[in-house]
A and B are shown apart, each in its own frame.
Chain A
Amino acid sequence: NAGVTQTPKFRVLKTGQSMTLLCAQDMNHEYMYWYRQDPGMGLRLIHYSVGEGTTAKGEVPDGYNVSRLKKQNFLLGLESAAPSQTSVYFCASSYSSLSYNEQFFGPGTRLTVL
C-alpha cells in the first residue's frame, strides 16, 4: 500500500497564478484533511472532507477551494496564489473522524509563491 501520496512535491508560482494539489489515499478512509505548516507553527487545518462529495471549512480556508469527487482523492486548489500562501501543505486521512483514530499523513508539498 502506498498510503497517502501527494503531487507535486515542489512548486513555485507567481502571484496570481492558480494550481491544484492532488492527494490520494489507498486505505479506503472516509475522512481526508488538508493542512498547511508554516515555520515555527504547528499544522493548521484548511479544509476537510467527511466523505465522497462532501467538504467543509477548517481553521484557515480563505483563498483555497477543495473537491472530493472520488473517495480516494482530495484536491486543494489555489485560484489566485498570494505570497502569504507560501507554505508546506500536508494531506492526511483517517478511517473515522473520531479523535481516537490516528491520521495518516502524506509527504507534503512545498509551495513557494513569488
Chain B
Amino acid sequence: SQQGEEDPQALSIQEGENATMNCSYKTSINNLQWYRQNSGRGLVHLILIRSNEREKHSGRLRVTLDTSKKSSSLLITASRAADTASYFCATDGHRMDSSYKLIFGSGTRLLVRP
C-alpha cells in the first residue's frame, strides 16, 4: 500500500508561474522527503523536512508539513522549463527491523511551458 499520495497527478503551468504540489499520507512519520525525476532518469533528492518542522526552504523550493492533517506541500517559485519533471514525496512511516523504509507516492507530473 502506498503511504504518500500526490495531488494533482499532473500540472501544466507557464514559465515564471508558481507550482504547488501536495502530498497526503496515512500513518505518523518521522520525516518526509521530496524527490524529482526527469524523464528517463533516476530520482534526485530535493529536500527533507522533519516531523517537528513546519516549513523549510531551499532555493526556489518551499516545503510545508502539517502533521495534524498528515499532508505536505512543495512549492516551486518562478518556475523554469528545466523544472519539467515528476515530483515524488517519500515518507518513512514504516519500521523494518531496526531501520526505516521509504514509501513513495505515485508522483505529480509537472510541465512548465516556455
Stretch in contact with the other chain, from A14-22, A61-69, A70-78, A96-104:
A96-104
- A99 & B106 in contact (Cβ 8 Å cutoff): no
Chain B 39-66 interface 0/1 with A at a Cβ cutoff of 8 Å (1 = within): 0111111001010000000000000000
**Which of A40, A90, A97, A104 has a CB less than 8 Å from the CB of B100?**
A97
- B interface: dominant SS: strand
Chain B interface size range: 20 to 34
How many residues does chain A have at the interface if contact means C-beta atoms less than 8 Å apart? 26
B30 is contacted by which of A42, A99, A104 (Cβ under 8 Å)?
A99
Across chains A and B, which 6 residue pairs bring their CB atoms closest together, nearest first?
A97-B99, A105-B42, A99-B92, A42-B104, A102-B45, A43-B104
Q: Is B2 an interface residue (CB 8 A)?
A: yes
In the complex, are the beta carbons of A100 and B31 less than 8 A apart?
yes
Contacts of B26 in A (CB 8 A): none
Instruction: Tell me the chain A residues, 69-114 only, with Cβ under 8 Å from chain B.
Output: 90, 92, 97-100, 102-108
Given contacts A42-B2, A56-B97, A97-B100, contact A103 B48 (CB under 8 A): no
Chain A residues near B97: list those with CB within 8 A.
50, 56
Contact A107 B41 (CB under 8 A): yes
**Across-interface contacts of A97 in B (CB, < 8 A):** 96, 99-100
* Complex Cα gap A92–B105 (Å): 17
Minimum CB–CB distance from B10 to chain A (whole Å) comes to 11
Q: Is the CB of A40 within 8 A of B106?
A: yes
Interface string of B67-93 (1 = CB under 8 A from A): 000000000000000000000100010
Pair A41/B106 contact, Cβ less than 8 Å: yes
Tell me, yes or no, whether A32 is within 8 Å of chain B by CB.
Answer: no
Please report the C-alpha to C-alpha distance between residue A32 and residue B79 in the assembled complex, in whole angstroms: 33
Q: Please, which residue of chain B has its CB at the minimum distance from the CB of A58?
A: B101
- Does B11 touch A at the CB level, under 8 Å? no
Q: Is the CB of A98 within 8 A of B42?
A: no
B33 touches A99 (CB 8 A): yes
Task: Report the Cα distance A44→B104, complex, angstroms.
Answer: 7
